[in-house]
Amino acid sequence: MEKILVLDFGGQYNQLIARRVRDHKVYAEILPYTTPIETIRNNGYKGIIFTGGPNSVYDMQSPHYTKEILDLGVPILGICYGCQLIAWMGGGEVKTAPVSEYGKIEFTAKESLLFKNINEKSTVWMSHTDYISTPPNGFKIIGTTDNCPCAAMENKKKSIYAVQFHPEVTHSQFGSQMLYNFLYEVCKCSGNWVMDSFIEDTVQKLREKIGDKKVILGLSGGVDSSVAAGLLSRAVGKQLTCVFVDQGLMRKDEGDFVEKTFTTLFDINFVRVNCQERFLKVLKGVSEPEQKRHIIGTEFFNVFWDEIRKQDELGYFAQGTIYPDCIESGKGDADVIKTHHNRVNTPDDVEFLGIIEPLCDLFKDEVRRVGEKLGIPKELVWRQPFPGPGLGVRIIGEITADKIKVLQEADWVLRDEMSKNGYEKNLAQFFCVLPGVKTVGVMGDHRTYDHLVAIRAVTTDDFMTADWAKIPYDILAKVSNRITNEVEHVNRVVYDITSKPPGTVEWE
């Protein structure tokens, strides 16, 4: 399989670069800048992309790399800090820029393979305080801006290219075409990374590894675990047992929907554990958000492993781990793998033959595409992000059965209305929150003192930042009217108009 290496120097867009490469049907993987040159030399990469980063290359405490990489004979594209690093490694000069550039800047391109089929003038996304004052020997300037005399450069003989801006972000007008040109014009990729072949190859590998053994998967009903279950079902069928822990903190009727989907769509063993009372008991009197998260997470795995211990035979343990869950970051200590709820440790008294992670090479959008091709319902494949603790962190304060019911009903009304009017396609995420506030109201000439419900809706490309959604007033009015009329114990609805930052998407 053709592979592009994204060498991470601490850039915030490292995953976005890899995703953009994969959008062009070329597989990309991310490794930290501490990766030995021998590893890179032996992996047969078709090309290498240096990411951006927050540091200055002339600060020797910043991430650097051996100059040998420029002589591997592998095409290289440097982005932002990566551009400056190529200049520094090649003997050029990098200085603090007289004028920093941030945001959308007009860029003038010169003739280059990198800029094939791109207008001479275009808008690019800049974010830098340093600049290349003198390019290295053998490099030619191929792009400028008013304040950056070397906004792009190339060494055509070595197939090394560098741009001071970020082609991977949508704000760069022809950024996608530039990446395409690097992959196909410079690296000569053929584009064989497609979901159909991924499914076929993965199913075959799973059959070979699992053989006649059993597999146990913790099924949450989320996108990742659902698609992992779909792949494993296609590979080994009834050898797969999915354990679904319904802690009573899911959205209205969601547990029933998950059970119906996986008992009718796939030929697997499905075990549902209903345990809302158990969770409410351990959460009684707890209001602090992090304490709630810890209790819910701990109890979830207690229930899950108790169920696993009942199984007659343990084979392999499967997880819905996806690629971002296990990327080594180039920020700070590059040897530390970031933790994630999808990657769990097994108890000492539970012994499996091994761990299976069929989605560990995929980003979320790729997981969704696999899910569609496996025939998993749209409601699961395109399920919006949902916190691991479920509604437990959308109920501010203590969690009770009554509060769960109120929030489930209000959230269902919001989703039903957005589905009916079609506005849901404009939103990245939307949901209701129960802030734990009661207000005075009037219903049927009677004074009420009941719950306030808050609506949260955002638009975003990557969830690193998010804007509050400008939902039309008539839609909000109808949702509010339905919630106050159809949901008992709610007499007021408010709309959250806070962006991220300063707020977060979730309230807790």
Exactly one of 2, 101, 128, 166 is catalytic; name it. 166
The partner residues of 152 in beta bridges, in order of sequence, read 143, 163
Same fold, 3-186 and 195-381: yes
Question: How far does CA 90 lie from the centroid of its chain?
Answer: 35
Please give the pLDDT value at position 328: 56
Catalytic (active site) residue 128:
no
C-alpha 405/C-alpha 456 separation (Å) is 18
Q: What is the DSSP code string of 325-363?
A: GGPBPSSSSTTPBPP-TTS-PPPTT---SEEE-TTTT--
Please give the pLDDT value at position 284: 96
Exactly one of 2, 101, 168, 307 is catalytic; name it. 168
pLDDT in tens, 47-99: 999 999 888 888 888 899 999 999 999 999 999 999 999 999 999 999 888 88
Question: So where are the chain's domains?
Answer: 3-186, 195-381, 396-495
C-alpha 288/C-alpha 295 separation (Å) is 11
Catalytic (active site) residue 486:
no
Class of domain 396-495: alpha beta
Low-confidence ranges of the chain (pLDDT < 70): 328-344, 462, 464
Please give the pLDDT value at position 373: 93
Dihedral-angle region of residue 103 (phi above 0 means left; psi in -120 to 50 means alpha; beta otherwise): left
pLDDT in tens, 329-382: 554 433 333 334 455 677 888 889 999 999 998 988 899 999 999 999 888 888
Give the count of beta carbons closer than 10 Å to the beta carbon of residue 212.
Answer: 7
CA torsion angle 168 173 175 177 (round to 10): 140
DSSP 8-state class, residue 385 = P
Q: Which CATH number fits domain 195-381: 3.40.630.10, 3.40.1690.10, 3.40.50.620, 3.30.420.40?
A: 3.40.50.620
Exactly one of 80, 150, 187, 275 is catalytic; name it. 80
C-alpha 388/C-alpha 301 separation (Å) is 12
Catalytic (active site) residue 187:
no
CA terminus-to-terminus distance, the chain: 42
Structure tokens at 158: 């070595």
**3-186 maps to CATH 3.40.50.880:** yes
pTM: 0.79
pLDDT in tens, 299-308: 998 999 999 9
C-alpha 365/C-alpha 463 separation (Å) is 13
